[in-house]
Structure 1
Amino acid sequence: MEENRSEIAKTPRNALGSELARRTGTQAEDWYPVFKARYGMSIVFEELRRLYGPGKVSTQLYTCCTAVDPILTAGLTPEYGDVDRDSIMLDPHTMPVGDDTRAVMMQHTFGLMDVRSSRLLAEKTHAIPNALLIEDSAHCVTRMVRDDDGEALADISVHSFGVEKILPTRFGGAIWVNPGLAGSAPELDRRLRSRLANLPRPGKRLDCVTRMYINENRVLGRMPGGLGSRMRSWLTRVGLYEPPIANVERRGGLGYEPLRPTPWIEMTVLRSLRSLEANEGKRSASVKLLRKSLGGSTVVSIPEQVMAGEPQPLLRFPVFAASTDLAEKIIAALRSTGVYAERWYRPELFPGVENPDAYHVPHDRAHLKVTDELVAGAISIPTDLNPEQVNAVAAIIARQG
């Protein structure tokens, strides 16, 4: 503990921003660390509404509910478009936009970046007065889509260091504000930077529970039967456990006002960034093997952009079965061998919301055909596997045909 205190004390102010800038070829003053990425997003949407009034945010249902909660809490309305089957991002050809569009979400699902589609999203967004292109890089920390000149496409880029992300840090995030915003929307730029730069730190309780999180999960995971789950729920109720997604966040709300990370979180993220290259290298190698092993599968389909070009360091390798029953059968078989496959994102707005109407989920889903098909058959495979595990994954999937 004394060693941690000493390291925290020696960490320069905005050291995290400086490191993120170094890794992205940007400037440290454009990076703003936050306690969780969703809270940083909420500031962006709040300032859009305050400056330009109520409006809509074009986004997708194939996502986590915490990516939509900041839109709702800011008083804006999510408007859902279908996703592109090949990139799992908002389809730029059919995305809903209008004069009241305040922002368009460019989500790099599982860390998959499709430069061509991203550039088209940017072109269509920037044709709308006062609309921002917001890049959701939660699954690909420090990676940003750029134009031919190497300039970042997004007006705002959101990066997460939280649970089930690339880094093993569990908490923290960062918001990047494009310096070009000062020229195109100077008042919005000023408001955003002022708020993001002056966020308060979390109090002692949050500092304590974030430090305890990993050990709490280790202990709770070893409890027999449903005792661990019941204990986790009790600890959450009394404020001694910080869940990845709180109950309020499945009702369209957020658990806290926007906060900066604690010094301990910033130090932990900085430590983890040191091994990012090795982390991404292992994931890219796993993706390469999975592409080779599953590329000819007749049991599951793989998005075209996953198979194209150099292997990307994906957080999860997405495959899709023809039915939910088959997807669940494959997930169960993979988990039985120790490969913890996920069903991201089934249900949509994962892990599901209490009242879809509160999220403005449309009842007429004729324009969401691809979304519905992907949700039904979703299987996401970890990308931190060794070659033997990859071979086992391929064999298990093949047997389901």
Structure 2
Amino acid sequence: MILQAYTCAAVVEPLLRLGVKPVYVDIDRESFGPDPDLIAEAVTSRTRAVIVQHTFGIPVPVEEIDVDVPIIEDCAHVTPGLIDTSRSAAAFYSFEWGKPVVAGIGGSAVVHDPELADVMWEHYARYTAPPESRELMTDAEYLAFRAADRAGVVWRMRSLYRQLSGMGLVVGSYAPDPRTSAEYGWRMSQGTRSRLAARIATGRAELKRRRELTDAYEIELHRVVPGVPLKFPAVVADKQEALLAAAAAGLELSDWFATPVHPLSGVDLARAGYVAGSCPNAEWAAAHVVTLPVRAATRRDSIGRAADLLAELRPVGAHA
């Protein structure tokens, strides 16, 4: 299976569970999506499919990817319905806390290939509902997210969430062990399913506001980002310096993606099949790209403040 580096472990985990070898290709530094030419070069007789990721919600020109294997679109950073995926075999979406539509842990697939759809329905019939404890935990997390979102402090709780998920006290975004985790046999929680349609409708209604925010970022940061991104990318010389400076100034700045297969590093990254040095653009992005919020609730004045802060940091290429 071919997919880009500079991606999320949640994309790779199902492949490892199925015993499928991930083959990573490098990204384009402007779109942060896969380089179409590198995808075509990577295809061999053993390639079963290609996963195309719309990183940060920036559309990938799928029509430029010339391959004779099925294409699956990773739309986890995209509001459902915003991108036409009909030229691909299937597309999948995510609805957890960091996505454009938040309804709870879980996702959905839109399948255009009839044979693949039949196989998926056959397998889905074997899935079971999550245990009641997981249902309750997911609902509680959703309510906590909505409260934090209304208060504008979601980003301040990110570190705490990661710590709690690592301790198993909240539902994390990644399975502890994709090869053995029972989560892969569960259906979407009832709570997530019941609120999903309304949350998607809200997400679509917010697209105009999010595009206006994107336009403001483009003016301030002198960078054009097509579509309606989930987050607005910016390049910095020292990522940790930028994150610490933003936190001190009370500004939201995210580290997506911190590694070529976020958040894996060291041995875990190697176990995910990534070879250090194989995708230099992805490694460059992991070291130098930060992202700014494009949520509908983002304050317009924070965009100017963020631009001023980034301008004060050392320029890209400068040495300490």
TM-score by length of 1: 0.68
Equivalence map 1:135-146=2 (5 Å): 135-143=73-81, 145-146=83-84
Q: Alpha-carbon deviation of 1:279?
A: 2.3
1:313 paired with 2:247, answer no
1:113 paired with 2:59, answer yes
Q: Do 2:231 and 2:291's aligned partners in 1 also have CA atoms closer than 8 Å? A: yes
What is the alpha-carbon distance in structure 1 between the residues aligned to residue 108 and residue 28 of structure 2? 27
What is the alpha-carbon distance in structure 2 between the residues aligned to residue 94 and residue 103 of structure 1? 14
**1:281-327 CA distance string (max 9 Å, x none):** 222111110000000xxxxxx5xxxx16xx52211101122x3xx22
Q: Which amino acid aligns with 2:132?
A: K
Secondary structure, in 3 states, of the residue corresponding to 1:380?
strand
TM-score by length of 2: 0.84
What is the alpha-carbon distance in structure 2 between the residues aligned to residue 278 and residue 291 of structure 1? 22
1:100 paired with 2:46, answer yes
Identity of aligned residues (%): 20
What is the alpha-carbon distance in structure 2 between the residues aligned to residue 111 and residue 229 of structure 1? 23
Q: Alpha-carbon deviation of 1:255?
A: 5.0
What is the alpha-carbon distance in structure 1 between the residues aligned to residue 144 and residue 118 of structure 2? 41
**1:64-118 CA distance string (max 9 Å, x none):** 1111011111111000111111221111101211010011011000111033xx1
Equivalence map 1:348-367=2 (5 Å): 348-353=260-265, 354-363=267-276, 365=277, 367=278
1:176 paired with 2:110, answer yes
Q: Alpha-carbon deviation of 1:347?
A: 2.1
Counterpart of 2:285 (choices 374, 383, 392) is: 374
What is the alpha-carbon distance in structure 2 between the residues aligned to residue 168 and residue 328 of structure 1? 27
What is the alpha-carbon distance in structure 2 between the residues aligned to residue 273 and residue 230 of structure 1? 25
Q: Do 2:259 and 2:283's aligned partners in 1 also have CA atoms closer than 8 Å? A: no
Q: 1:133 to 1:64 in 2, by over 3 A?
A: same
Q: 1:335 to 1:165 in 2, by over 3 A?
A: same
Counterpart of 2:122 (choices 194, 205, 209) is: 194
Q: Alpha-carbon deviation of 1:176?
A: 1.0
Secondary structure, in 3 states, of the residue corresponding to 1:274?
helix
Q: Do 1:144 and 1:157's aligned partners in 2 also have CA atoms closer than 8 Å? A: no
1:84 paired with 2:28, answer yes
Q: Alpha-carbon deviation of 1:234?
A: 8.5
- Number of residue equivalences: 300
Structure 2 spans left out of the alignment, 5+ residues: 154-159, 315-320
**1:350-397 CA distance string (max 9 Å, x none):** 11245223111124x2x5221121111020111132221111011111
Q: Alpha-carbon deviation of 1:63?
A: 0.8
Q: 1:229 to 1:75 in 2, by over 3 A?
A: closer
1:232 paired with 2:164, answer yes
1:205 paired with 2:133, answer yes
Q: Which amino acid aligns with 1:271?
A: A
Q: Alpha-carbon deviation of 1:62?
A: 0.0
Q: Which amino acid aligns with 2:232?
A: F
Computed over aligned residues only, the root mean square deviation of the Cα atoms, in angstroms, reads 2.8
Larger radius of gyration: 1
